Structure 1
């Protein structure tokens, strides 16, 4: 799990910004001891490390610099970093703080925060910690990226206590931590610090502020920060629109922001486009407008966008359009297959699509089987549903969820196979106390007049859901339909005694 520290100019919270305004990351580091050669290739790196294991004295500062540059590019960077760490003499890092900083940055960017923090505490001179934001930024960004928001914010506060300088990267990372912690109060404190530091006009900091307020549910403040920005770019618009969509769906405000964004010549990214399509109601026209924009800008084959288009046309019940988008995809992922299968929940071609998926080499997951079993339930495809359930358990070794089992019980119940449904449930003890399964069984028993199974299901439901009157009414209807009036009166009395 590679994590991007703030100093790499690519915030995980704002992944769409490629370049941050300001100096390059290298300006935060001490000047190199000499101009390092290009980083070695992965195979060369492996050979160099093997050679150093035999002769560790050959590890000099001039060799360490290109090795550190090559490590993030290696297919297995953590393993190679561990090997290099075992060869590094502590004295070398203490003599060359710039190399210690690089090592700290690599550890933090790979999510190895314990090692990064050890370097920070024990190998960096006090002056480096006091005068540079870079090492602090590495840790704050690293902790925020792995979800350790409290640790990131504690370091941010420690910077103030120790008088360390704070720059735009610091505030971006701290705001990302506030977003993750859903703490608008702390976010406002960081906001005040950024204003005091003179960064009110910094585009990247403002983007982080908009996202923080949006994540914390304060869209009014998010919009205020956005409107006050002296300069906005496509990323800024994407952040605002993403926040509006996440907070209120396809609201009038989100629609207005979308049109303003396009009117100013900025392009939404695939994340925002997908959100627009997923939030789009099935009876509106704007989904087609978004689709038209997608086609004009050659984005129809973008995986997330195509998947969202399939979902949108599925909600509109326009299977022809959904299938057209699917068939035009040059590459399909599991989510694409799941989307098109879900779109066919009321169409008999669903089993054919599932077989096409398997034949293509895609491996179905829980969501796939949930979609196809639900379709079999809707369409009454009992034999196909039973076969698929068996494949899920025995071929793909997927543990059935309650939802999978409920679909199968529904399917059997609708077909009048109530005894088979009860037998299926009885073989799986955990299902015997699942209200959704029992309600399905009770309903099937009522429809098909299976008094024995209905009474068993109802008795368990009365214990599990004593205040759910629907269960009592279903049993009473079953008694009424079979002229068991004495039992009907007993259920009525039971309800009166319970105060229902």
Structure 2
């Protein structure tokens, strides 16, 4: 069974209320220049990018079989970013197998990109497993990892899970940033809840993002999807 964020049931209750109201391996760090995968120019087509990605991963797998494992987080972050861009989940799984466990536990950039890849490709359960294995020190240090999982849920249409994770994030005391709100507003628009949308609107104003164009665009889109474009959105006295 797919793992739900802890606040999934609370979100359900809020939706019901809203509906009622609104009808032996050696670790090796390479000397510079390191074998960082510079895979792609913007003009390169998808097939060529995928072939380049496959080649780099194969080289790393060959090194691992010889007892040499790469320990540079920048390499894995670059590979995972490329896998995400190409939606190459099979290649991402191969990269995952190459990453030393301590990097997944303690490196925010690597673990967050892996979370985003799995979640955005429809593997929410695996994404949450990676997320839960991150050290508390790392996962609570910034909104980045949370944003990655929320984004993945929202992008794959799992809007309720994204919303529930947002409420869990607040309970854990993780401060949202300007990238959190567009993602969670997208999820809110997906479930069509004006009541929850207004609560998030209050949150973003409280956090100082009421004048952020990036956030405001997402806010307009959310209200439009909820069928409630109204004076509140532009009124300076709303709160």
Partner of 1:79: 90
- Aligned counterparts of 1:127 and 1:217: Cα–Cα separation in 2: 40
Rate the CA distance shift 1:73–1:217 in 2: closer, same or farther, 3 A: closer
- Aligned counterparts of 1:109 and 1:210: Cα–Cα separation in 2: 24
Secondary structure class of the residue paired with 2:153: helix
Rate the CA distance shift 1:198–1:92 in 2: closer, same or farther, 3 A: closer
Conserved? CA contact 2:71–2:100, under 8 Å = no
Conserved? CA contact 1:200–1:206, under 8 Å = yes
- Aligned counterparts of 1:177 and 1:112: Cα–Cα separation in 2: 17
Structure 1 residue 59: Cα displacement: 3.1
Conserved? CA contact 2:115–2:127, under 8 Å = yes
Conserved? CA contact 1:39–1:69, under 8 Å = no
1:92-171 to 2 correspondences below 5 Å: 92-122=103-133, 124-171=134-181
1:373-452 to 2 correspondences below 5 Å: none
Rate the CA distance shift 1:132–1:220 in 2: closer, same or farther, 3 A: same
Conserved? CA contact 2:89–2:117, under 8 Å = no
Secondary structure class of the residue paired with 1:84: helix
Partner of 1:209: 219
Secondary structure class of the residue paired with 1:219: coil
Q: More helix per residue: 1 or 2? A: 1
Partner of 1:53: 61
- Aligned counterparts of 1:189 and 1:35: Cα–Cα separation in 2: 50
Conserved? CA contact 1:40–1:66, under 8 Å = no
Q: What is the aligned residue count?
A: 192
Residues 338-388 of structure 1 deviation map (CA, whole Å, 9 limit, x = unaligned): xxxxxxxxxxxxxxxxxxxxxxxxxxxxxxxxxxxxxxxxxxxxxxxxxxx
- Aligned counterparts of 1:72 and 1:44: Cα–Cα separation in 2: 15
Structure 1 residue 35: Cα displacement: 9.3
Structure 1 residue 44: Cα displacement: 3.6
- Aligned counterparts of 1:156 and 1:204: Cα–Cα separation in 2: 18
Q: Of 68, 83, 88, which aligns to 2:80? A: 68
Partner of 2:39: 40
Compute the RMSD of aligned alpha carbons.
Answer: 2.7
Conserved? CA contact 2:76–2:95, under 8 Å = no
- Aligned counterparts of 1:211 and 1:80: Cα–Cα separation in 2: 34
TM-score normalised by length of structure 1: 0.35
- Aligned counterparts of 2:201 and 2:229: Cα–Cα separation in 1: 15
Secondary structure class of the residue paired with 2:211: coil
Rate the CA distance shift 1:96–1:176 in 2: closer, same or farther, 3 A: closer
- Aligned counterparts of 2:33 and 2:118: Cα–Cα separation in 1: 23
Conserved? CA contact 2:143–2:180, under 8 Å = yes
Secondary structure class of the residue paired with 1:55: helix
- Aligned counterparts of 2:229 and 2:195: Cα–Cα separation in 1: 14
Partner of 2:200: 190
Partner of 1:91: 102
Conserved? CA contact 1:206–1:226, under 8 Å = no
Matched, 1:225 2:236: no
Structure 1 residue 174: Cα displacement: 1.5
Rate the CA distance shift 1:98–1:118 in 2: closer, same or farther, 3 A: same
Conserved? CA contact 1:71–1:81, under 8 Å = yes
Rate the CA distance shift 1:35–1:214 in 2: closer, same or farther, 3 A: farther
- Aligned counterparts of 1:151 and 1:127: Cα–Cα separation in 2: 23
Structure 1 residue 162: Cα displacement: 0.4
TM-score normalised by length of structure 2: 0.70
- Aligned counterparts of 2:128 and 2:110: Cα–Cα separation in 1: 15
- Aligned counterparts of 1:217 and 1:119: Cα–Cα separation in 2: 36
Structure 2 residues without counterparts, runs of 5 or longer = 1-31, 41-48
- Aligned counterparts of 1:199 and 1:84: Cα–Cα separation in 2: 36
Conserved? CA contact 2:77–2:109, under 8 Å = no
Conserved? CA contact 2:157–2:190, under 8 Å = yes
